[in-house]
Structures are given as C-alpha cells and as structure tokens.
Structure 1
Amino acid sequence: MGGYLRHDGLPGGVDTADTRPGVEPRPAGTPRIVGIVWGLLILNTLGSAGAETIIPLPRSLIQMVTMGALVAAFALALTVNLRLRFRASAFLFLLTLLLVPSLISSAHLESGFGALFRCGRFALFVGTLWLLSRWWDGGLTFVRHHIRMYFAVLGSVAVGAVISPGAALPEIYGGRLVGALWPLTPPQIGQYAAVIIGLTVLLVLGRRTDRTSAAVVIVPSLVLLALTHTRTATLGMLIGLAVAIGSLILTSAAARRFFTWAVLCAVVAVAGFSSAMQAWYMRGQTQEYFSSLNGRAKVWDALLAAPRTTSEQVFGVGLGDKSFGGLPIDNSWLAVYHEQGLTGAAIVVAIIVVLAGVALLRPPSLSRACAIFLITYCAIASYTEAGLGDASPYLLHLALAASLLAAPAAAAHLPTPAVPRRRVPRWARRSEVS
C-alpha cells in the first residue's frame, strides 16, 4: 500500500539503515508496546452509551476512560516512534483527507462545540494510526492483537451474563445479550464476536494457530453471537468468510475442504432447522416492522427529505452522535452524508474502493484473505450500522485490512564492510613462486 516516509534512523536504536536513495529500511520487529497501543484504540472505540450495567457507571466516567485511552495510545505510539517514521498508504492519506470536511462543517458549530471535540478525537485517532503504520508490513501481528483484545471484551460480557443474567438479557432489548459490566449494545457484541470468529477461522485454515486454541475463541464467541440475535453481524461474517475462503480455494487444500464441508452443513441446517433459524432471524418481529428495517427506513427517509443548504450538502453539518431528530441513523453512508456531506461520502467510497482494489491485485495469501474478510464485513455492516466516517471499530477493522495489504518492507541493504587484505611477507611470496 505504500513505502516508508524515511527520516533519519530507526526508532529506538542505532541507525543501521542504508541512507542511499530508494532503499526502504525494514523494522527490526514489532515492539510489545504496539500491541498495547492497538488495545487502547479498541478501548477508545467501545463507546459510552449502551445498556444499564450491574454497577451504574456515569457516562462522564466512561468517556474519561475512553478518551484517556486514546490520549495514552497516541503518547505511547509517539514514544515508540520518536523518529516519526511512517509508512505512507492510500488508506491513511484518504483517512487524513476525511478530516477536512469534518473540520469545515464542525467549525460552523451547527452541532455545537461537541463537533470540534469529536474532530480533535478523530485527528488523534488518525495520528495514532500514522504512528503505528511504521509496523504495517503485511504480517499477522495486528490480527492477533485484534483477536486478543476483542476476545477480552467478549470475556467481560460473558462474566456479566454469569453474574447477572437479568441485567445481561434485559427485556428492554427484547432479551438480547448486552454488556452488564461495560455498557455494550447487542450490535456491538455481535460485531466483535463475528469479526474474531472470521479471523480465527482463517488463521486455522492458514495453519497459523492450532485447533484447540481456535476452539477456545470460536465456540464461546458463537454462543455470544447467537444470544445477541444480531442479523447484520451474522450475515457479514458468513458472507465475508465465503468471499475470503473463496480467495484461497485455488491455492489451499484446507480452504477447499472447509468450503465443501461448510456448504454441506449449511444445506443440512437449512433442511432440518429452517423453522428455528427463521424464528431466530425474525426475533419475534412482525413482517411490516422487519421490512422497515426496525424503523430505520423512516429515519432515512426523513434525513434525505430534510432541507439543506449548499454548504451542508457538500460538507455536512459537523461530527455528531450519528443521529437525526433524536433517533439513530444506523447507516454509515447516510451518517457520513449528514455529518460530512457529499465530500465525506466520496472519500469513504474511495477508501473502500482502494482497499478492495489493492486486495484484488495482491496474490493469494492468508493476509489477503483476512483483509478481504474485513473489507467485506464492513461493507455489509455499513448498511445498518454507522461508523465509517469517525473513530470507530469499523475504521479499526479497515486499518487492520490496510496493514495486511501493505507490501512487506524491503530489507535494508547494508554496505558490505571492506575486509582488509592480509599482508603476506616477502619471503612467503618467494616460496610460493618457487
């Protein structure tokens, strides 16, 4: 996806890089602190609104924790990358460009001073990704960080369900699983479970993890996903896995076997459990309510019908809480259009198209398959979930995809040190001649 923006020397050590033009130094390794920074970014995007928890947590306290996590992530990333060595990519360039309509629209203060605060948060989020891009080399290191952190989040959900099933399955959410220790909504939990299930399955197919470790992640995550009754996450996971595994079929026998067995299991499941699957999918809703996408269509129609000035159409009304008329928008494209205008929507389209295009051009590999899964999942979820225009888990998923699509860093070509010639005594040379 790009090359290094070289400054002078490797971060945190002696400069052993070749300074000749065109030579790209390779990182000596990914420091452990990078994983901590990635975990802090995930903590920042968990959000502060959701179900009631067992121990009531003030929203101000939750926001303090999430914002503190972002500030700490930026500070740690800066500490580990003091030489400001970046790896340029089209994804990061477009993400930075998205700040422009965000700032222009938020400066009008139509959404209040909170819009400027969200712009600052978004800028800090993007800056942290730039600092971490130093270690984007197409490897699976960030995939493992992603799985571990979200599995820890799901662990807190499971603990909350064990401690207080009533709080974890409240009637206000129709008996769907929520976070009882940290305020997480069913769509959030479903998203986290679906993403780590898909990534873990791909790691198993690529023989990058054993089946026992994978089962420890996949089985409980599947249970939590089923308890959330989240249709978007389930469909995104299944379609994303189908596309990702399809990209490996020609080069992986394990992928071919898994795909065959998955199709057979799907046929059996549909034939034997169609009524149960339909009941789970409908969640007890009427056909009319389901056809209106749980009432989302009414909000979308009202948003599109609202009068807008030319400036609002081009740049939006400023970063907000992804709502319109007090109701959630629940669509990434309409949320971006509302807050960042047609300019922001065009940039987000470019981000998806660029990532998908690069993925198609890369040769088949496990990293490419993981990136395809993430891109497909985010594209599907964008229809009923907001988050592609601001700091969110979806942008983190796409950042992970960008790191997987980055070309491996070229090894630094160090000049071969000159070996001094051993002087041969004159009498020895005479003996060799004789």
Structure 2
Amino acid sequence: MRRDLTHDGPTHDGLPGDGLPGGPDTEHTRSAAAPPPPGAPRIVGIAWGLLILNTLGSAGAQTIVPLPRSLIQMVTMGSLVAAFALALAVNLRLRVRASAFLFLLTLLLVPSVISSGHLESGFGALFRCTRLALFVGTLWLLSRWWDGDHTFVRHHIRMYFAVLASVAAGLLVSPGAAMPELYGGRLVGALWPLTPPQIGQYAAVIIGLTVLLLLGRRTDRGNAALVIVPALVLLALTHTRTATLGLLIGLVLAIGSLVLTSAAARRFFAWSVLLSVVAAVGFNSALQAWFLRGQSQENFSNLTGRAKVWNALLAAPRTASEQMFGAGLGDKSFGGLPIDNSWLAVYNEQGLTGVALVGAIVIVLGGVALLRPPSIQRACALFLISYCAIASYTEAGLGDASPYLLHLTVAASLLASPAAATPPPAPEVPRRRTPQWARKSEVI
C-alpha cells in the first residue's frame, strides 16, 4: 500500500500519540503522566498574614506616633474579617481536611459560649467568642492546603520576620522609645505596640524554624543568616527568659529527633553543646545578669509577682457552673493584673472543660508527632509544640485566638498526611475507521 505523503503524524513505526518524541500528543501525554502538584494559592499566604496581624494585640508600649487603641482594634479585627473572606473566596466549595486538632479547637467554643452567655464578663465576652469562632472558621477553610509540607512554615517565618523588621525600624528611628525605662530598658515595639514577651516569642519561633529548615537543606546559609542573626539580636534585647528557654529546649527536642538519621543534625548538636559549655564558662556572670534582669532573688522566685496572682485566682470562690465552664472570655487578667499562665487563664475563662480540651490538643499533636518517622516536618512540629507547652507556663493564649494557636496550627499542617494523588485519566486512543469495502464480504 502506498504511504500517504500528506499524513501529519510521525514517521516512526509507532502510532500517533504514543508518547514518543515528535508525536502530536507528546505534550498532552507527558503532562497526564506526571501532573504538577497543586500548590497553595497566593491568597492563602495573604490570609495567613492577616491572621497573624489579628493576633498582634492592641496593648503595649507607647509608640512614636500615638495610635488610638480603637484604631488598632479596628485594624486587627478588620484583618480577621478579611482573612475569613479571602479563605472563603478561595475555598467556595468548603473543602476542608479532617483534623482532630481543629475538631478539639471547635469544641473549645462550647464552654466559651456557655460561660460568656451569662454576661458576667460583659458584652466583650460575646464579642471575643465571635472572634474565636471566626478565627477557627478561617483555620478550617485553610486546612484544605495542609499537605505535610513547609508551605505554612514559610508563611509563618516571612510574616513574623516582617513584624520584627518593624521593631528593628522603630529601634533605629527612636532608640529611647524602643527601649523605655518603663519596661526596664527592654525592647518594645515603637511603631506598633508590642511588648518584650511578644517580640521575644516571634524571634524565638522564626529562629528555631529557620535553623531546622537549614539542617534539612530547605534553605541556604545566606537566607538563614539573614533571618537568624537579626532575630537573635532582637531576642537578646528583649531579655525574655521564657522565649529563650523555649527556643533552646525546643531545638534540643527537635534536633534530637533527627540525630539518628541526619549527619548535619549530629554536627549541629555537637557544636551547639561545645559552644554552650564555652559560653557558660567564659560568660557566666554576663549570662546571669542578663537572666536576672536586675531582679532580686525574692522577685525572681515568685516569677515577677505572677505567683501572687495565681494563688489569688485559685483561692477565689466559684460556683459549680464557673468551675466547669469558666466566667467567660476576657482579657486574660484577674483582679486587674495579668494572669500570664495559659492553663490558669483557660480555667478562669473556660473552666475545667476548657483545660481538658486544651490539654487534649497539646497531647494529640505531641502524640502524633512522636509516632511519625524522623523528618524535618516532624522536627519543626516538635519544636512548635514543645515551645508552646513551655511558654504556656508564663504566657496566656492557648484558649483564645493568639499566636500560640497559630504555632500549633502550623504544627498540625506539618503532621497532616499528604493528599493522595488522583490518578491521571488514560489518554484516549483514536479509533480507526474501517473502510466501507472492508465491511462487506466478497464471495469468490
């Protein structure tokens, strides 16, 4: 049979579209065989940044340009509404990932609503319940993009690095306003009202995560140094003991989970131990002075007056309802003084039910992390969980919309199993049309 010279197909012996180079269906076949993994849209990162802005708070040091508290609250609450709207716009089909963490967080709304409904804490309690519900709803909508990768870790580092950049800018513009005598010369936010514990927390978290990404070769040394070095300087200027201890202990646990499988983790651990011993011997007096912050032994032993507030809170009379469900969401204070303890703050506002739910959240995340095989994702999750557990002793926030819940959310996203890839559809093989003469049988 004569070859048709006008045929557009390949000149090899294979059929058109069989995937060999030069076929008209080569590009389609290649893309169908290895579809690119779907990434999180840019809107997801913007929504995450708005959630971080919402949790920055409105109380802090005096800024260079005085900002009315009502304006700050309008910005923070507006950012939460915008984050929910963006998350809903990008996830209109309401596809969410099943998560025990988010389920327990949603259950935490029950004691919050029950206790706040009595209005013992005023209408502000109902407002805070609405905020918490909107916060949890946004996390549910964003859970669609939890893939066990470092997507939310990178969003976390970038946004908090931007916050620390504003702190550094305030320090350069007005050193006196950034390190006021009211806070004992500790670093505060001069452009946006941020307290030393807040700055220390943000610096410690991004330092720990960046170190782990560097050990896992998820970033290079130049980018890591750009984040770690300034953050370390800001952490030192805040004199925040809780953040420093959380960073050190969290890194020890996280890197310890990698020691048996990572040579880089073993080298880093060995050098860290060596440098710590040298620093402890050579700079003992300077480290002790930094740690005590000029406080007396008595003031240090009662945790800067926190123990007095805790004893008064535990000794206060409570009804059976208040003991089970709390007195309603408030400003994490008792008798006009900050509680500065997540567990006692939850007990005061959400009762024993809230304490049980928050404890279940930490235990579930920690248990899942320990059962996972060694990996950088697991190490980052262990760091965040251990940091939040340590900071919960002297910081409040585990029972309400706060940076600590965002840290735990990042840990939950790292522990999520990757979504099963949908098998690509098989390429349709073109059907050959049988000529008319071949359909009729001839009788010879």
TM-score norm. by structure 2 comes to 0.89
Structure 1's unaligned 5+ residue stretches are 1-24, 430-434
In structure 2, distance between residues paired with 1:26 and 1:173: 52
In structure 2, distance between residues paired with 1:414 and 1:254: 38
Equivalent residue for 1:151?
161
In structure 1, distance between residues paired with 2:68 and 2:436: 89
Equivalent residue for 2:172?
162
- Cα separation, partners in 2 of 1:94 and 1:279, compared to 1, 3 Å: same
In structure 1, distance between residues paired with 2:398 and 2:36: 31
Query: CA offset at residue 422 of structure 1?
Result: 3.1
- Kindly provide the amino acid, as one letter, of the partner of residue 387 in structure 2: Y
State the SS of the aligned residue for 2:283.
Answer: helix
- Kindly provide the amino acid, as one letter, of the partner of residue 75 in structure 2: V
In structure 2, distance between residues paired with 1:413 and 1:41: 35
- Kindly provide the amino acid, as one letter, of the partner of residue 314 in structure 1: M
Query: CA offset at residue 416 of structure 1?
Result: 2.7
Equivalent residue for 2:222?
212
Equivalent residue for 1:174?
184
- Cα separation, partners in 2 of 1:48 and 1:103, compared to 1, 3 Å: same
- Given the alignment, which residue of 376, 384, 389 partners 2:394? 384
Q: Is it true that 1:330 corresponds to 2:348 in the alignment?
A: no
Q: Is it true that 1:78 corresponds to 2:88 in the alignment?
A: yes
**What are the residue-to-residue correspondences of 1:94-109 with 2, within 5 Å?**
94-109=104-119
- Kindly provide the amino acid, as one letter, of the partner of residue 411 in structure 2: A
Residue deviations 1:305-357 (CA, integer Å, cap 9, x gap): 00000000000000000000000000000000000000000000000000000
Query: CA offset at residue 412 of structure 1?
Result: 1.3
Equivalent residue for 1:410?
420
In structure 2, distance between residues paired with 1:251 and 1:421: 53
Equivalent residue for 1:300?
310
Residue deviations 1:7-41 (CA, integer Å, cap 9, x gap): xxxxxxxxxxxxxxxxxx99722100100000000
- Kindly provide the amino acid, as one letter, of the partner of residue 228 in structure 1: T
Aligned residues: 405
Check conservation: 1:26, 1:411, Cα contact below 8 A.
no
- Given the alignment, which residue of 365, 376, 383 partners 1:366? 376
- Given the alignment, which residue of 186, 199, 208 partners 1:189? 199
State the SS of the aligned residue for 2:300.
Answer: helix
Check conservation: 1:27, 1:135, Cα contact below 8 A.
no
- Kindly provide the amino acid, as one letter, of the partner of residue 69 in structure 2: R
Equivalent residue for 1:65?
75
Equivalent residue for 1:395?
405
Of stretches 112-121 and 406-415 in structure 1, the one that deviates more from structure 2 is: 406-415
Query: CA offset at residue 425 of structure 1?
Result: 6.0
Equivalent residue for 1:264?
274
Identity %: 83
Equivalent residue for 1:255?
265
In structure 2, distance between residues paired with 1:55 and 1:301: 38
Query: CA offset at residue 240 of structure 1?
Result: 0.2
- Kindly provide the amino acid, as one letter, of the partner of residue 243 in structure 1: L
- Kindly provide the amino acid, as one letter, of the partner of residue 173 in structure 1: Y
Equivalent residue for 2:288?
278
Equivalent residue for 2:41?
31
Residue deviations 1:33-60 (CA, integer Å, cap 9, x gap): 1000000000000000000000000000
Equivalent residue for 2:211?
201
Equivalent residue for 1:343?
353
- Given the alignment, which residue of 233, 240, 243 partners 2:243? 233
In structure 2, distance between residues paired with 1:422 and 1:363: 52
- Kindly provide the amino acid, as one letter, of the partner of residue 332 in structure 2: K
Equivalent residue for 1:353?
363
Query: CA offset at residue 424 of structure 1?
Result: 6.2
In structure 1, distance between residues paired with 2:53 and 2:140: 18
- Kindly provide the amino acid, as one letter, of the partner of residue 169 in structure 1: M
Of stretches 256-265 and 419-428 in structure 1, the one that deviates more from structure 2 is: 419-428
| Cα RMSD after superposing both structures | 1.6
- Kindly provide the amino acid, as one letter, of the partner of residue 32 in structure 1: R
Structure 2's unaligned 5+ residue stretches are 1-34, 440-444
- Cα separation, partners in 2 of 1:95 and 1:148, compared to 1, 3 Å: same
In structure 1, distance between residues paired with 2:142 and 2:36: 14
In structure 2, distance between residues paired with 1:77 and 1:392: 18
Q: Is it true that 1:318 corresponds to 2:324 in the alignment?
A: no
- Kindly provide the amino acid, as one letter, of the partner of residue 301 in structure 1: N
In structure 2, distance between residues paired with 1:221 and 1:230: 13
Residue deviations 1:141-171 (CA, integer Å, cap 9, x gap): 1101000000000000000011111100000
In structure 1, distance between residues paired with 2:422 and 2:387: 36
In structure 2, distance between residues paired with 1:95 and 1:417: 45
Query: CA offset at residue 413 of structure 1?
Result: 2.8
In structure 2, distance between residues paired with 1:419 and 1:182: 63
In structure 1, distance between residues paired with 2:159 and 2:264: 27
Equivalent residue for 1:15?
none
Query: CA offset at residue 206 of structure 1?
Result: 0.4
Check conservation: 1:178, 1:186, Cα contact below 8 A.
yes
TM-score norm. by structure 1 comes to 0.91
Check conservation: 1:26, 1:410, Cα contact below 8 A.
no
Residue deviations 1:183-230 (CA, integer Å, cap 9, x gap): 000000000000000000001000011101110100000000000000
Equivalent residue for 1:115?
125
Equivalent residue for 1:291?
301
In structure 2, distance between residues paired with 1:427 and 1:373: 75
